[in-house]
Amino acid sequence: MSKPLAWLVGALCFFGIAGESFALPISPGDRVKITIPEGEEFSGIFEIDLNGELELPYAKGIQAVGLEPQQLQQRVYESLVQQGFFQPAFLRVSLSVVQWAPVPVFVTGSTFQPGRVLINEWSPAEQSQTPVPLSGQAPLNRMLTTALRRAGGIIPTADVTAVELKRGSRKQRIDLTGAFTGEPFDDIPLIAGDQVIVPDTGVVNPMIVRPSVVTPNEININISNLTVPAAGNSVAAIGNDAQKFPYGSRFSHAVVSANCAGGTMVTNARRRAILVRTERTTGKTTVFERGVEQVLRDSTDSKNNPYLMADDGVACYDSGVTNFQAVLGIITQFLTPAALIYDRILP
């Protein structure tokens, strides 16, 4: 095998995407069980320390982070032989992971909530219980897709074909298109300190604005329709169910859900709907206003009928006809008592 090819295979194995197995790399906090026949003082359950080392009694620390369990088992064998504790012909080492630790990773770029996220968190029971040696444990919550979901999911303009994973000085580019097409893709296992970078295209990609393993399943929207034809949100059936929408829903869905559409054509056809959005990362607030009929009839136009995002606010206002009718009602409320008083004063 040539040196470049050998380096490539080694790098792929490092990220857990080459070879027959899909082993998870060791990370600080992972607990491993080591069994050495006739070496009881080196046997037991050990936790990888914050420096990424496996510390065995009497032996020097063994660098473990980034290695697959099989590779760490071989390194333990080599270390104990090199330090003179065993003869090569008589040493047998068995190593297995009995508990995978939570790991902090960093997500930057085109996600809704970029920052430091903790994945594969332990429940309170797992934190206090003694690790039980089990073979074949698979921590499915320590994967790349989990980290992206914990960061709020990718935004509609993300470039899913070029997501980058940085581990120390090494980089790996991952194409996550399969998360939306159903085709196989590399869901990379992560270790503590990994950095995930999601690039941005600047253009909304409708294919990725829907529920998936790297996007939200649903979003909460704030809705208000406090004027005619609905006198209140309770009357308009706007409750918890109405405020939750599948990710990928559009402005028109909120308009219909808020009972802004329908009713009497003469009074309701010219109603207005407003979408208020505040960017979480910048704090910038934008206001989007359209006629209800325009939103419904041009609902396939993304500029006219944008996708809903978490915490958007949608408010509906009545048409000019309804407003004029309301003004007349207010005037009538004032004139009627005045007329009664006038009739009583005059003989």
More confident residue, 291 or 261: 291
Confidence of residue 8 (pLDDT cuts 50, 70, 90): very low
Whether residue 229 is preceded by a cis peptide bond, meaning omega within 30 degrees of 0, is yes
Residue 27 to residue 49: CA distance in whole angstroms = 9
Q: For the chain, what are the domain ranges?
A: 25-99, 101-124+140-213, 218-323
| Predicted pLDDT at 223 | 85
| Predicted pLDDT at 127 | 60
The CATH code that applies to domain 101-124+140-213 is 3.10.560.10
Retrieve residue 279's tokens. 């960017």
Torsion, CA 294, CA 296, CA 299, CA 302, rounded to 10: 50
What percentage of the chain has pLDDT greater than the value 70? Answer: 73
% helix / strand / coil in the chain, to the nearest 5? 30, 25, 50
Residue 242 to residue 272: CA distance in whole angstroms = 19
- The answer to whether the Cα torsion of 115, 119, 122, 123 is positive or negative is positive
Strands 272-278 and 44-47 turn out to be: unpaired
pLDDT at 16 over 80: no
Task: Give me the mean pLDDT over the 36-64 stretch.
Answer: 92
Round the average pLDDT of the chain to a whole number and report it: 80
**Is domain 25-99 classified as CATH 3.90.1150.10?**
no
- pTM to 2 decimal places: 0.75
| Predicted pLDDT at 282 | 79
pLDDT at 137 over 70: no
| pLDDT single digits (tens) 162-215 | 999 999 889 999 999 999 999 999 899 999 999 999 999 999 999 999 999 999
pLDDT at 48 over 50: yes
More confident residue, 306 or 261: 306
Task: Give me the mean pLDDT over the 107-132 stretch.
Answer: 81
| Predicted pLDDT at 129 | 61
Confidence of residue 131 (pLDDT cuts 50, 70, 90): low
More confident residue, 294 or 154: 154
| pLDDT single digits (tens) 68-85 | 999 999 999 999 999 999
Task: Give me the mean pLDDT over the 1-24 stretch.
Answer: 43
